[in-house]
Chain A
C-alpha cells in the first residue's frame, strides 16, 4: 500500500525535503528532531485538545446543506471551519505550532500571511500566550485585506509590509524566512500552510488533520458510515485540504478533490493553478510543483483570492496529484465569485473567497444521487466583502 506519510527526510515520493541555506540548518534540525516527540507527548496532546475545544471552538459542525444537496443531487455536507475562532481553519495549526514553539523556548513568533487569516490566527494565539508576534504580509495583500490588517494590529502584532517581487504571499514568505535567518535563536517561524522545508508540511498536516478526524466521527453519527464518497477542498499551499484529506488518504473509497485558483484562466498567464500548469522545482525550501520560467525563476501568481495567490503548492499535494490519489481542478476568479454568491443565497453562509473555489467544483463533478460529499468550508467571507462588493456592485445596490 502506498504510504502517504513522508519518509524520515521529509519526502513524499520525490517531493519534499529541506532545501535551506546553512543559516537555517540548526533551527530546522531542531524542529525535525523534536516535532514528533513533542506533539505525540501526552501533555502536549492534552493541552492541544483542550485549546481546540474551548478556544478554537471544535468540533466544528458538519452541516447538511439541503438546498445545495437538492440542486446538485447528492448529500452535500459543509465542514464548517469558517466557524473556528478567527474565521478559518488556520487557527488549528497555529495553536499547535505555538505550543510547540513554547516547548522549544521561543519567545518571538513570526508568520507570513496572504489573506491575513493565518496572520490573524497567529496574532490571536500570541496574544493569548503572551508572546511577541510579527507578521509579514505582501504590500498588495495589505491593500486588499484591510480588515485583517486591523485585526492583527488590534491583537498587538507588528505587521510588516513585504515590498519585494509581486508583493503577495510568496514575498511575505521570503521576508519571514529572511527575518528568521537574522534572528534564529529567539524566534519560531509559524508557517501557515503545508509548505516549506521538512518538517513543516508534515507538522502542519498533522495539526490540521483534526478536520478529517472529526468528519469521520460526524459522518458515522449522521450517516452510519465513516467514509464519504468525496472530500472537496481548496488548495493554496494545501493545509485545509491536507487536513480534510488526512484520515481518508489510505481509504481508496473516498475520492479526494482539490480546487486550485485558475485566476483569470490557466491560459492567460494570470493564474495560480500550480498543479495544473506547474513543473518540478524548489520553492521556499521544498521540492514540489511550482510555476516557473524555463530558466527556473519563480513566476508571480494571480488570483482574486489572496490566500490562494501562491506559485507553489505543498509537496503532499504534488505527490497526491502525480500519483493520482487526488484530483485537482482549476477554478477561475469568476467561478469562485459566483459560487460565493450562490452559497450566500442558498444556505445563508458567506464563504471566504478561498473556500468558494471548492464550492465552485460542485456543478462540475457529476455526482450519483446517493453520494455523500463533504466540502471543507475553510473560512468565512467577512474579510472579502470589499472584493465581493467590487465585483457585484449591481447586486449590492439593489439590496
Chain B
C-alpha cells in the first residue's frame, strides 16, 4: 500500500533530513505554519511531537516546549483537527512522536485510525515495549498503513537490533549516544564506529540518526554515515528565540548550511 515514508526512501537513499517539533509550541496553532515552513525549506520528513507532562527521554528544550504546548492547550484531538486542515496541501510525510500514556488514554486503535485519516504516515512511541507492540498493537498500525519506527542505541545488542529490524517498518531511528535529547557534544569516534557497525549489518530498514544533531558538522557527519538525520532540540531552540515561525525556520536552515551540505554530499 502507498505510504509516503516508503516512497521517500525509494526515491532517495541519502542526505534525508527529518525535523522534530513540539506541537502546540510556540502557540497552539503554530502547527500548520511550522509544517509549511519546514516543507518550503526542503525538509524530507517531519516528526510532529505530541507534548507530554513527563517526557523522560528528553532534555530541557523539549521539556520546556512541551510544558508551553500543554499550557497552550494542545491535546491529541486538537492536533488531529489541525492536521485534518492541512492534509491535502502537504506532501512531506508526517510522523507522530510521543509518549505512550497519552496515546493509551486516547485508545491505540482509535489513535491509529484517526492518524491515518489525517494523512499521517508513521508513529514513534519510544516507551512502547517491543513485545507489546507485537502482541497487542501491531495490527492497528499495519491495518492503518502506518509505519512503526523503533529506536536503537549504541548499547543495543546485535541480536536485538536484528529483532527490531525485523518488526520495524519505515526506518530505524538510531539514537546517536546514550543520552536524553538536546545534547550538543559533537560526534565522537565511538559514535562513528557505532553508525558504521549499524550500516555494515545491512538491515532491511534505512537508518536515520538523531539526538545531538545541531550544527553543520554534526549534520555532515550524520549524512556521511547513514541515510539521514533527525534534528529536534536545535530547531526548537530557534523557535524559542524567535516566535516568527517562517523567519526562525529560514535562519535555522541558513545557519545549518543545509542546502550546501546536501549538494556537496549528493
Report A's interface with B, CB cutoff 8 A: 9, 17-23, 25-26, 164-165, 170, 174, 177-178, 181-185, 281-285, 292, 294-298
Contacts and interface: CB of A to CB of B under 8 A. Distances in A.
Given A18-B129, A21-B127, A297 B56 contact: no
B52 interface: yes
Contacts of A20: 127, 129
A292 B57 CA distance: 19
Interface in B145-163: 150-153, 155-157, 160
B129 A19 contact: yes
Given A181-B180, A184-B178, A297 B53 contact: yes
B105 A22 contact: no
Contacts of A297: 52-53, 70, 102
Interface string B150-191: 111101110010000000000000010011100100000000
B11 to A, nearest CB: 28
Given A21-B57, A184-B155, A297-B52, A292 B105 contact: yes
Contacts of A177: 56
B178 to A, nearest CB: 5
Nearest to B60: A164
Nearest to A182: B179
Given A296-B103, A298-B53, A22 B180 contact: no
Contact of B100 (A19, A26, A185, A292): A19
A21 B129 contact: no
B12 interface: no
A331 to B, nearest CB: 26
Contacts of B76: 295
Given A22-B153, A23-B179, A296-B102, A282 B127 contact: yes
Given A22-B150, A25-B155, A178-B56, A298 B101 contact: yes
Contact of A22 (B52, B58, B156): B156
Contacts of B157: 26
Interface in B29-76: 52-54, 56-59, 63, 67, 70, 75-76
Contact of A282 (B67, B75, B104, B178): B104
Contacts of B178: 23, 181-185
Interface string B75-108: 1100000000000000000000001111111100
**Central interface residue in B99, B101, B129, B156, by most chain A CB within 10 Å:** B101
A19 B129 CA distance: 6
Given A19-B128, A21-B57, A281-B104, 18 more contacts: A17-B132, A18-B129, A21-B56, A21-B126, A22-B175, A23-B57, A25-B155, A25-B156, A165-B53, A174-B56, A181-B57, A184-B178, A281-B105, A283-B54, A283-B101, A292-B101, A296-B101, A296-B105
B13 to A, nearest CB: 24
B49 to A, nearest CB: 14
What 5 A-B pairs come out closest when comparing CB atoms? A296-B105, A296-B102, A297-B53, A22-B151, A21-B126
Contacts of A184: 155, 178
15 contacts: A18-B129, A20-B129, A21-B57, A22-B153, A23-B151, A23-B179, A25-B153, A174-B56, A178-B56, A178-B59, A181-B178, A285-B127, A292-B101, A294-B105, A295-B105
Contacts of A17: 129, 132
Nearest to A294: B105
A295 B102 contact: yes
Contacts, number: 98
Contact of B131 (A9, A170, A285): A9
Contacts of A185: 178
B54 A22 contact: no
Nearest to B63: A164
Nearest to A22: B151
A93 to B, nearest CB: 22
A25 B161 CA distance: 12
A282 B129 CA distance: 12
A181 B180 CA distance: 6
Contacts of B59: 178
A23 B54 contact: no
A285 B100 CA distance: 10
B105 A178 contact: no
**Central interface residue in B54, B59, B152, B155, by most chain A CB within 10 Å:** B54
B153 A174 contact: no
Contacts of B183: 182
A24 to B, nearest CB: 9
A219 B234 CA distance: 62
A106 to B, nearest CB: 15
Nearest to B152: A22
A284 B54 CA distance: 9
A297 B104 CA distance: 11
Given A20-B127, A282-B127, A174 B54 contact: yes
Contacts of A18: 129
A283 B52 CA distance: 12
Contacts of B127: 19-21, 282, 285
Nearest to A164: B63
A291 B70 CA distance: 17
Contacts of B101: 281-283, 292, 296, 298
Contacts of A181: 56-57, 178-180
